[in-house]
Amino acid sequence: MRLSACVAFTGVEVVCSPNPSAEIKAGYTSDLLSDVIGHCPEDSVLITVQNHKNTVAVCTLVGAAAILVTHNREIPSDMLEAATTEQVSILRTPLDQFHATCLIANVLNSSTE
Protein backbone atom coordinates (compact mmCIF):
# COMPACT_ATOMS: atom_id res chain seq x y z
CA MET A 1 0.00 0.00 0.00
CA ARG A 2 1.28 3.48 -0.81
CA LEU A 3 1.90 5.81 2.11
CA SER A 4 -0.58 8.32 0.68
CA ALA A 5 -3.33 5.67 0.70
CA CYS A 6 -2.44 4.61 4.25
CA VAL A 7 -2.72 8.24 5.37
CA ALA A 8 -6.04 8.68 3.56
CA PHE A 9 -7.55 5.57 5.18
CA THR A 10 -6.29 6.30 8.70
CA GLY A 11 -6.77 10.06 8.84
CA VAL A 12 -3.47 10.61 10.65
CA GLU A 13 -1.86 14.02 10.34
CA VAL A 14 0.94 14.39 7.80
CA VAL A 15 3.71 16.50 9.32
CA CYS A 16 6.07 15.93 6.39
CA SER A 17 5.88 13.52 3.51
CA PRO A 18 8.91 13.74 1.24
CA ASN A 19 7.90 10.48 -0.47
CA PRO A 20 4.09 9.97 -0.42
CA SER A 21 4.37 7.12 -2.93
CA ALA A 22 6.59 5.06 -0.60
CA GLU A 23 5.41 1.47 -0.26
CA ILE A 24 4.17 0.48 3.20
CA LYS A 25 4.25 -3.26 3.85
CA ALA A 26 4.20 -3.41 7.66
CA GLY A 27 3.99 -1.53 10.90
CA TYR A 28 6.27 -1.81 13.90
CA THR A 29 5.64 -0.41 17.38
CA SER A 30 8.45 0.31 19.78
CA ASP A 31 9.88 3.14 21.84
CA LEU A 32 13.25 1.45 22.25
CA LEU A 33 15.39 2.40 19.27
CA SER A 34 17.78 -0.55 19.71
CA ASP A 35 14.74 -2.82 19.41
CA VAL A 36 13.72 -1.01 16.23
CA ILE A 37 17.21 -1.56 14.80
CA GLY A 38 17.00 -5.28 15.52
CA HIS A 39 13.43 -6.00 14.46
CA CYS A 40 11.67 -3.30 12.41
CA PRO A 41 10.93 -4.55 8.89
CA GLU A 42 11.85 -2.58 5.81
CA ASP A 43 9.08 -0.49 4.18
CA SER A 44 7.21 -0.08 7.44
CA VAL A 45 5.64 2.61 9.58
CA LEU A 46 7.35 2.93 12.95
CA ILE A 47 4.76 3.74 15.63
CA THR A 48 6.40 5.44 18.60
CA VAL A 49 6.48 8.30 21.10
CA GLN A 50 10.10 9.02 20.19
CA ASN A 51 10.06 12.49 18.65
CA HIS A 52 13.71 13.31 17.95
CA LYS A 53 16.12 13.14 15.06
CA ASN A 54 17.68 9.85 16.24
CA THR A 55 14.37 8.19 15.39
CA VAL A 56 14.81 9.34 11.79
CA ALA A 57 18.37 7.99 11.75
CA VAL A 58 17.18 4.59 12.98
CA CYS A 59 14.41 4.49 10.35
CA THR A 60 16.97 5.28 7.66
CA LEU A 61 19.17 2.46 8.94
CA VAL A 62 16.38 -0.15 8.82
CA GLY A 63 14.62 1.18 5.72
CA ALA A 64 11.37 2.22 7.41
CA ALA A 65 9.38 4.64 5.25
CA ALA A 66 7.55 6.61 7.94
CA ILE A 67 7.32 7.44 11.61
CA LEU A 68 3.92 7.75 13.27
CA VAL A 69 4.38 9.81 16.43
CA THR A 70 1.65 9.16 18.99
CA HIS A 71 0.03 11.32 21.69
CA ASN A 72 0.21 14.35 19.34
CA ARG A 73 3.75 15.00 20.50
CA GLU A 74 5.44 18.03 18.99
CA ILE A 75 7.88 17.44 16.16
CA PRO A 76 11.12 19.39 16.68
CA SER A 77 12.62 21.27 13.75
CA ASP A 78 15.80 19.17 13.70
CA MET A 79 13.68 16.01 13.38
CA LEU A 80 11.75 17.57 10.49
CA GLU A 81 14.95 18.60 8.77
CA ALA A 82 16.46 15.11 9.15
CA ALA A 83 13.25 13.46 7.89
CA THR A 84 13.15 15.65 4.81
CA THR A 85 16.81 15.01 4.05
CA GLU A 86 16.50 11.25 4.59
CA GLN A 87 13.13 10.91 2.79
CA VAL A 88 11.37 9.54 5.89
CA SER A 89 7.78 10.72 6.33
CA ILE A 90 6.56 11.91 9.71
CA LEU A 91 2.94 11.38 10.68
CA ARG A 92 1.20 12.25 13.94
CA THR A 93 -1.88 11.08 15.82
CA PRO A 94 -3.52 11.84 19.16
CA LEU A 95 -3.89 8.08 19.71
CA ASP A 96 -1.68 6.07 22.05
CA GLN A 97 0.66 3.41 20.65
CA PHE A 98 -1.81 0.56 21.10
CA HIS A 99 -4.66 2.23 19.23
CA ALA A 100 -2.35 3.65 16.56
CA THR A 101 -0.96 0.16 15.99
CA CYS A 102 -4.47 -1.26 15.66
CA LEU A 103 -5.35 1.48 13.18
CA ILE A 104 -2.32 0.79 10.96
CA ALA A 105 -2.79 -2.98 11.24
CA ASN A 106 -6.43 -2.77 10.19
CA VAL A 107 -5.60 -0.66 7.15
CA LEU A 108 -2.70 -2.86 6.07
CA ASN A 109 -4.67 -6.07 6.64
CA SER A 110 -7.68 -4.80 4.70
CA SER A 111 -5.47 -3.87 1.74
CA THR A 112 -4.23 -7.46 1.41
CA GLU A 113 -7.61 -9.15 1.60
CB–CB of 21/105 below 8 Å?
A: no
The chain-wide mean pLDDT, for the chain, equals: 96
HEC string for 64-113: CCEEEECCCCCCCHHHHHHHHHHCCEEEECCCCHHHHHHHHHHHHHHHHC
| Full-model pTM | 0.96
pLDDT band at 111 (very low <50, low <70, confident <90, very high): confident
pLDDT, tens digit, 9 for 90 and up, residues 47-101? 999 999 999 999 999 999 999 999 999 999 999 999 999 999 999 999 999 999 9
Domains of the chain: 3-112 (3.40.1390.20)
Query: Which residues make beta-bridge pairs with 68?
Result: 47, 91
Stretch 29-35: mean pLDDT: 97
Asked if the model's pLDDT at residue 113 lies above 60, the reply is no
CA distance 108 to 100: 12
Provide the pLDDT for residue 112: 61
Tell me the mean pLDDT in the region 17-31. Answer: 96
